[in-house]
Amino acid sequence: MGLFDSSALDPYAEKDVHWLLRSQAARRGDAPFLIWEPFSGESETWSYARFYADARNVAAGLRARGIGHGDFLLLHANNCPEFLLTWYACAMLGAVVVTTNPRAAVGEMTYFIEHSAVKAAVVEHGYLELLAQTGARLDWIAAIPTTESGDLDMPSGILPFSSLRADGAALELPSLDPMTPISVQYTSGTTSRPKGVVWTHANVLWGAQIGAAHNQLRTDDCAMVFTPLCHTNAMSWGHFPVVWSGSRMVLQPKFSASRFWPLAVEHGCTWGNVIPFAVQAVVAQGIPERHSYRHWVVGAANLGDLETRLGLTIVGAWGMTETVTHGSWTPPQLPAPERSMGMPAPEYELKVVDDSGNPVIPGETGNLKIRGKRGRALFLEYLNNPEATAASFDAEGWFDTGDRVWQTVEGHLRFADRAKDMLKVGAENVAASEIEAVIAAVPGVGEVAVVGRSHPMLDEVPVAFVIAPAPGDALRAAILAACQHELAGFKVPVDIVFLDEFPRAELNKVAKKELREIAKAG
């Protein structure tokens, strides 16, 4: 890119993700690493040495099945130990793991598989039928058993996950260049299809080191992880810093308000990433008199009297899949203004500019830009989409986040709105254009516009406005059926409103601000 000195020493030279896990297995072999707390069945604990050995065994099994350097493998599952074992096994081989949202619909899965050209798949048993509906032609499919399925209940042609375990002790593993791609996560953007964000081994090491430093982790810390491992929040904000610090983590299949406090107290959890709707839910459960939490990482700091009530610090932070880890961060030991998303993280460059690219003064809202070394501090590229990659960076290497913020006099950032046409549904970013593209393809739809309606638990939910020659229940049902087939449940509109015409702004654009007011009024 010409923006970074190529002669500068690289902190991750001659290092890869295998190096990190191997180092902790040697240094902290007997120490607990992963504590699995399923909703049914017994909990199970992996030490660093046991997990490393198991991951090598899976790597040997994958290699025996033809997975090697540069191959793409689909990983579609809820949180479970097999997810992490598969992920690290791919990392050891130099393969690229494509992690997809378990809430994805058939149409989305079809796109992910075709776009990434995955060679094989490791899928949770309950999603085998979904995968079959895509018609994907893969070399093989292995199923992660659930408590109900077990390894003996596998459909014809499906491998049990246990068959991927081989003798990894003698497996010769390559030493990978840190810029080798390691994973792809699909994230919503302003186009009608999600973009595949490519991370490298250096990206993972960066997220691990910076996350451990920001959270001030020690070997005796314990993280609570319940957000989906297919996303950045769980993997880079939560899991990677655990490995870097040699500490431990409690992994749950998904969020459970009733299990949150009992598990946190039992295992002495000291920190975790707690998304806003989960904060409300666990507070409603009643706060135990004693717990070990030091801080929670939330999207905004200083949320009223919550810190006093909870007996911990709430840390404001901001980031996205493309930034790997926190682009802004509130140091836990310092005060923060109400709802601050943190100060610019010292590991990045941030700026807030107007539409002409000129810096704005504190208090004025502008567009948030971030800069860092591609493939290390920022993602490497959008998979098979050089046009989108190029459009996301300017000539000086600044990445356009699509967020609009303003800065306080003391340097803290506050979120204002999204410059891009995006919705925030729970912990998920949703492009309005993605929903609009599905609805527009339904016969009988003339024009469509999707906006967000505020929701007490999910932040926003999508509402679709449609102009059609023959509106009515039949068209509404057809629209919902198309959305349910093509889109994850959280992207399906909660309401479909037929209008004779849309309110318009300049250049005949749809005035979505007015549609949001209509959606708000119900």
**How do residues 439-468 score in pLDDT, each as one tens digit?**
988 999 988 999 999 888 888 999 999 999
Please, are residues 149 and 40 in contact by the beta-carbon 8 Å criterion?
no
Q: Check residue 348 and give its pLDDT.
A: 98
Q: Report whether pLDDT(121) > 60.
A: yes
**How do residues 190-236 score in pLDDT, each as one tens digit?**
666 899 999 999 999 999 999 999 999 999 999 999 999 999 999 99
- 17 or 402, which is more confident? 17
Domain ranges of the chain: 17-30+44-176, 424-521
Per-residue CA distances from 211 to 219, 231, 297, 321, 511 (Å)? 14, 15, 11, 14, 40
H helix intervals, 337-486: 386-392, 432-440, 473-486
Most confident of 95-99, 301-305, 503-507: 95-99
For a pLDDT cut of 90, what percent of the chain falls above it? 76
Q: Check residue 299 and give its pLDDT.
A: 86
Alpha-carbon distance of 126 to 497, in angstroms, equals 34
**How do residues 329-342 score in pLDDT, each as one tens digit?**
988 888 898 889 99
Q: What is the CATH number of domain 424-521?
A: 3.30.300.30
Averaged pLDDT for residues 171-183: 96
Alpha-carbon distance of 265 to 263, in angstroms, equals 5
- Band of pLDDT at residue 2, cut at 50, 70 and 90: very low
- Beta strand segments in 226-267, E: 248-251
| Residue 511, Cβ density class (10 Å: 0-12 exposed, 13-18 middle, ≥19 buried) | middle
Averaged pLDDT for residues 492-520: 84
**How do residues 16-57 score in pLDDT, each as one tens digit?**
999 999 999 999 999 999 999 999 989 999 999 999 999 999
**How do residues 137-175 score in pLDDT, each as one tens digit?**
999 999 999 865 555 567 888 999 999 999 999 999 999
Alpha-carbon distance of 433 to 191, in angstroms, equals 6
**How do residues 349-380 score in pLDDT, each as one tens digit?**
999 999 999 999 999 999 999 999 999 999 99
- Band of pLDDT at residue 482, cut at 50, 70 and 90: very high
**How do residues 54-89 score in pLDDT, each as one tens digit?**
999 999 999 999 999 999 999 999 999 999 999 999
- Determine how many CB atoms are found less than 10 A away from the CB of residue 442: 17
Q: Check residue 427 and give its pLDDT.
A: 74
Q: Check residue 93 and give its pLDDT.
A: 98
Arithmetic mean of pLDDT over the chain: 93
- Band of pLDDT at residue 471, cut at 50, 70 and 90: very high
Averaged pLDDT for residues 112-118: 98
Please, are residues 429 and 422 in contact by the beta-carbon 8 Å criterion?
yes
Averaged pLDDT for residues 394-400: 96
Please, are residues 166 and 60 in contact by the beta-carbon 8 Å criterion?
yes
Q: Report whether pLDDT(418) > 90.
A: no
Per-residue CA distances from 339 to 297, 317, 367, 413 (Å)? 12, 10, 18, 9
Q: What are the structure tokens assigned to 489, written together?
A: 């449940």
User: What residues have CB less than 8 Å from 103, skipping those under 6 apart?
Assistant: 488, 489, 490
Assigned CATH class of 17-30+44-176: alpha beta
Q: Check residue 1 and give its pLDDT.
A: 42
Q: Check residue 190 and give its pLDDT.
A: 60
Averaged pLDDT for residues 295-320: 93
Q: What are the structure tokens assigned to 86, written together?
A: 């598969």
1-10, 35-44, 57-66, 299-308: least confidently modelled range: 1-10
For a pLDDT cut of 70, what percent of the chain falls above it? 96
Q: Check residue 506 and give its pLDDT.
A: 54
